[in-house]
Every structure is written in structure tokens, then in C-alpha cells.
């Protein structure tokens, strides 16, 4: 004996499945973490012209700021013309994966190079934001770095 389900019941089952699926998606999305927006976003946006000016200063250097990694360290090397100047600044490692993985270290170049141990960072993709001041000018450069 076969059981026939009428078209009204089929439509009700389809609608019920859709409604349960939508409720499940809403519950799952409400439990997501959203770390992509900075807490002081509006202040950063107002100060962005300073970042653009510092980026132009960095672009005018003889070479780009070199950010690379080896097996044990991440090396930030400044161009030759900045090596004899007093430099103050930071290197910010921004991870789009998790806010807790972000790290800011002071830029303290010895002979134009700052070395950061890889043990302080996670194996992920970072946007490295180098921001510093030398000789009364501000400089800023962003670089991509993939640690594996």
C-alpha cells in the first residue's frame, strides 16, 4: 500500500523546512564574532589625511620598507637614507582573522633593521603597518605578510 501526500501537505512541508532553516541561520549568525571594525573607527577616519601624507613621504624614499620573514624572525628593514637618523615609531601586525592576534611592537631599528621573533606572532596572513617619524617627517607603509 502506498501513501499519497496531497499538494497542500507538500507545500506545508516545504514552507516548514524553509522556516526552520531560516531560524537556524539567524541563530548561527547571531553567535558570530565581528572583529573587523576598530573601536575608534571614526577617529581613525578623521586622521586618515595624515596617513596619506605619511604614505607619500614613504613613497618618496629611495626604496620601500622591506618586511619579510625567515624561519625564526620577521625583519623590518628601512632604506639606507634613514639608517643614520633617530627613528621613533611602531610596527602593527593586523590580522583579519582574529583581533586577539593583532600585535604592535616599537620600531627600534639597530642599523636600520628591526627584528621581531616569530614566536610572538601566529601563523596567518598579516597586514603589516609600519608608521614612524624621522627627521621631522612622518612615514607610513602597509605590506602584506603571510606566515606559515
Question: Could you report the per-residue pLDDT of 20-68, keeping only the tens digit for each?
Answer: 999 999 999 999 877 666 778 888 888 899 999 999 999 999 999 999 9
- 107 or 108, higher pLDDT: 107
Mean pLDDT across 138-147: 96
Pairing of strands 113-117, 125-134: unpaired
The grid coordinates listed for 27 are 541563530
Q: Which pLDDT belongs to residue 15?
A: 97
CATH of range 41-146; options 1.20.120, 2.20.200, 2.60.40, 2.40.128: 2.60.40
Q: Which pLDDT belongs to residue 112?
A: 86
Alpha helices per DSSP H over 40-145: 41-46, 48-59
- Residue 40 C-beta-side C-alpha neighbours within 13 Å: 5
Among all chains, which residue has been given the C-alpha cell 606572532?
Answer: 121
Q: Which pLDDT belongs to residue 1?
A: 66
Which tens digits make up the pLDDT trace of 70-107? Answer: 999 999 999 989 888 899 999 999 998 888 999 999 99
Measured between alpha carbons, how far is 59 from 61 in angstroms, rounded to an integer? 5
- Highest mean pLDDT, choosing among 80-94, 101-115, 131-145: 131-145
Is residue 123 within 8 Å of 148, Cβ to Cβ?
A: yes
How many angstroms separate the first and last alpha carbons of the chain?
61
- Maximum separation of any 2 CA atoms in the chain, in Å: 92
For CATH 2.60.40, the residue range(s) in the chain are 41-146
Q: Report yes or no on whether pTM surpasses 0.85.
A: no
Is pLDDT at 127 greater than 90 in this prediction?
yes
Is residue 104 within 8 Å of 89, Cβ to Cβ?
A: no
Q: Which pLDDT belongs to residue 36?
A: 62
Q: Which pLDDT belongs to residue 111?
A: 83
Amino acid at each position: 500500500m502506498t501513501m499519497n501526500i496531497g499538494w497542500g501537505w507538500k507545500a506545508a512541508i516545504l514552507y516548514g523546512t524553509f522556516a526552520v532553516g531560516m531560524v537556524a541561520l539567524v541563530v548561527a549568525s547571531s553567535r558570530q564574532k565581528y572583529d573587523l571594525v576598530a573601536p575608534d573607527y571614526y577617529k581613525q577616519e578623521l586622521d586618515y589625511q595624515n596617513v596619506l601624507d605619511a604614505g607619500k613621504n614613504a613613497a618618496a624614499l629611495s626604496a620601500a620598507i622591506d618586511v619579510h620573514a625567515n624561519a625564526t624572525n620577521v625583519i623590518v628593514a628601512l632604506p639606507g637614507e634613514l639608517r643614520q637618523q633617530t627613528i621613533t615609531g611602531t610596527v602593527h601586525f593586523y590580522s583579519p582573522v582574529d583581533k586577539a592576534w593583532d600585535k604592535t611592537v616599537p620600531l627600534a631599528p639597530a642599523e636600520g633593521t628591526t627584528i621581531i621573533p616569530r614566536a610572538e606572532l601566529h601563523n596567518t596572513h598579516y597586514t603589516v603597518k609600519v608608521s614612524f617619524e624621522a627627521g621631522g617627517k612622518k612615514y607610513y607603509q602597509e605590506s602584506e605578510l603571510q606566515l606559515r
